[in-house]
Structure 1
């Protein structure tokens, strides 16, 4: 994409140099020639002229190729600029709709942004960032339906906008998504999850997914069968105070999942049959005080699961039937062991228990028929 004069001059010079090299190589193969003894015939002269014209024609062909290639590149660059301009216009129009006072218009903006993210791979992350930013904006408190039914209806419409964003993101993360958003960065920092969200069979192969300070207070957030294989998923300081968060059958491998400083004070967090291998999963400084947290039948076969300074002060944390076959599961430096987990074996590969203190091993301390179970639903 140099200026055309320089491009052509460079092309002619290069083609001439190549022709000269080829002639020199041919003369070397012929050996030493006594030019004074050579009298060219008419046929020889014509042949030399023919070769010269062929060389000139070859150089002309190369020049034509360069001009054609440059024209194609210029055309493609112009089309790309025009396409980017159209994408930018669609982005502006969709973003403007998100600021409307009408829930219906906002819903149209959400779907427009999701559609643009599907079409515009180069701007996909920007569209996702806007959708996540909308979720992070504080939601208005629910008005009293009896006192102000119109305000309550409008509030329900705005709540549907947030729920729609979550559904669209979750749908694009599934294994069979027509246009997957796998590997995108997702920032749910401080978001309150008070409705059902289905992340089941989602794939998190890369990128950064933040639930930092998120609150899981109602409804069900479902990560059943999800794969956390190369991403950093951050639940730092998240609050699990109600509802259910489901990781049943999820696979944690070759990545990092951080529940550090999470507060599990209510509801149900379920890692039943989850597979934790070659990943770093941290529950450092987590507070297990009132939730039902199940690791029933989970497989710990590699990586490192760390409970550094975690507090087991209440609720029910259950490891019944969990398999410890490799890696490291470390309870050795917990801060509070007054209400230890159920079902932990006294010895298992990679399992490190506190040096002292009671351990509820499950069947002996709490027979299976009488073992408390989490609430259903």
Structure 2
């Protein structure tokens, strides 16, 4: 290499006359350097099937062009690398010619070897894809078996295919394919249906067939506001039947295995992690988790998981649901869901819009307690016409983590049959508890002459020390004297506007606020109390 460098230096320093022998010498230098550097080049485009001679010629021409350019930059003359004042002997010309020919041969050899290696790698990929497809097909057959043990084995076989073949190296995204298969399995009809007599029992508490609406053809729910008879109807008809007839949940072990595999692939703990909060997105976190219309009989434990997009439109959860500490990166849809047991979203973070509102004819219903303490809603939050049969809490946690609604919080037409706790919650934008109006009867699919009014109902609401930084609309909400606004703070900038609305049932002070509430200025979401 030192000798070659000396020759290049000599050629660059002599730029007097054009000499054919010097041209041949410089060509030989180019070929040698090309032979050494080609093996280190990133020539990914060669993977395409172009003629071999074309690639060899292309690399030779590129090398000549690169050498000319560098010679121009170093020598100050376009032909600096091609000129010399010294003449070469016949022996030197012959040597230079053979060297150039040898360099071209070396380039051709390297290109040929690279193409052979690339071809071998492609063949290996095809063989691995074939093996992966065989394993995937076998696992799917297991998942369709009548034996619970075989179905469970099929679930873990699918997970093994995804873990082994992944999504980066092969043309097929096996992670995505397995996620779709497992979610599709949960959406299929896997459980023995409740008898028709049970269905009729569930509608005895409604005021007639025309006043009830069906959600996913699984449960009859009255269109009118939740009352005690409705809650008793859900408990005695659906949950009691499921409890007394275990054959309805014959697919429980397989379902639990699917949910467990999904959870474990939606979170990742780095080495040395000592806390559940240390979870990071898992290998399946970037895929859509589609559980639309599914019936989930087993407990769903998705604590500290990370999902890019989750859709549970019209899903029925018969057991506990736990999303504590979870992160929802993209739009999340729980529209029309039925949560029959204790539901926890404590300390979760919705980084984009979330919908707990209607879906078709169905409204989201929480039959048991719901825990949203310390949740951060960064996008638009919709609890429109949502029904809460028991206690729901959007309060701060024991450690002081406050629930925050960054954008509009839509509670229009929501029904809170029991305590609704918003203690120390923060509404940065509009807090909308006004009635929900619709111009269509969705059950009959006909347009009514008069809009249907769904007023917001708050049996016992707690807004103590709550921050209303944006407007607060409680107009026409059904609220009684048990509603507590003690220590609640409202934005002073909105004092003279009509953006703070309360129903006649709430007694207002001379400041135009409920008893115990105050006006204040807010700086970076923190209040600056004004002397009253």
- Short-chain TM bin: 0.7 to 0.9
**Alignment partner for residue 263 of structure 2, among 170, 177, 198?**
170
Q: Which residue of 1 aligns with 2:290?
A: 187
Shift of 1:200: 0.7
CA distance 1:53–1:22, shift in 2 (3 Å)? farther
Greater shift, 156-165 or 16-25, is seen at 16-25
Q: What is the distance in 2 between the residues matched to 1:106 and 1:250?
A: 32
Normalised by the size of structure 2, how large is the TM-score?
0.57
Please show how residues 48-197 of structure 1 align to structure 2 within 5 Å.
Answer: 48-121=93-166, 122-141=173-192, 158-176=251-269, 180-197=283-300
Q: Which residue of 2 aligns with 1:330?
A: 432
Q: Which residue of 1 aligns with 2:484?
A: 361
Q: Which residue of 1 aligns with 2:458?
A: 339
Q: Which residue of 1 aligns with 2:391?
A: 292
SS in 1 for 2:461: coil
For the 8 Å contact 2:338–2:365, the answer to whether it is kept is: yes
Normalised by the size of structure 1, how large is the TM-score?
0.79
Greater shift, 333-342 or 294-303, is seen at 333-342
- 1:227-286 deviations in whole A, cap 9, x for unaligned? 12x22221011112x211100111222x2221121432510111012122x3222223x3
Shift of 1:89: 0.2
Shift of 1:330: 2.9
Q: Which residue of 1 aligns with 2:336?
A: 237
Q: Which residue of 1 aligns with 2:406?
A: 302
CA distance 1:104–1:361, shift in 2 (3 Å)? same
For the 8 Å contact 1:320–1:343, the answer to whether it is kept is: yes
Q: What is the distance in 1 between the residues matched to 2:145 and 2:342?
A: 33
- 1:45-95 deviations in whole A, cap 9, x for unaligned? 222222222222221121112111111111111011111101100000000
Shift of 1:318: 1.6
CA distance 1:115–1:27, shift in 2 (3 Å)? closer
SS in 2 for 1:181: coil
**Alignment partner for residue 220 of structure 1, among 320, 324, 331?**
320
CA distance 1:117–1:27, shift in 2 (3 Å)? closer
Shift of 1:13: 5.3
Q: Which runs of 5+ in 2 are unaligned?
A: 1-46, 167-172, 196-244, 270-278, 397-401, 437-453, 488-505, 507-532
Shift of 1:193: 2.8
Q: Which residue of 2 aligns with 1:311?
A: 414
CA distance 1:95–1:19, shift in 2 (3 Å)? same
Q: Which residue of 2 aligns with 1:202?
A: 305
Q: Which residue of 2 aligns with 1:252?
A: 350
For the 8 Å contact 2:179–2:284, the answer to whether it is kept is: no
- 1:142-190 deviations in whole A, cap 9, x for unaligned? 899xxxxxxx887765221112111211122124279632112111112
For the 8 Å contact 2:187–2:292, the answer to whether it is kept is: yes
CA RMSD, 1 decimal: 3.3
Query: Rg larger in 1 or in 2?
Result: 2
SS in 1 for 2:310: strand
SS in 1 for 2:417: coil
Q: What is the distance in 1 between the residues matched to 2:133 and 2:83?
A: 68
How many equivalent pairs are there?
Answer: 341
Greater shift, 330-339 or 98-107, is seen at 330-339
SS in 2 for 1:315: strand
CA distance 1:58–1:126, shift in 2 (3 Å)? same
- 1:94-125 deviations in whole A, cap 9, x for unaligned? 00111111111111111111111222222111
Q: Which runs of 5+ in 1 are unaligned?
A: 145-151, 366-377
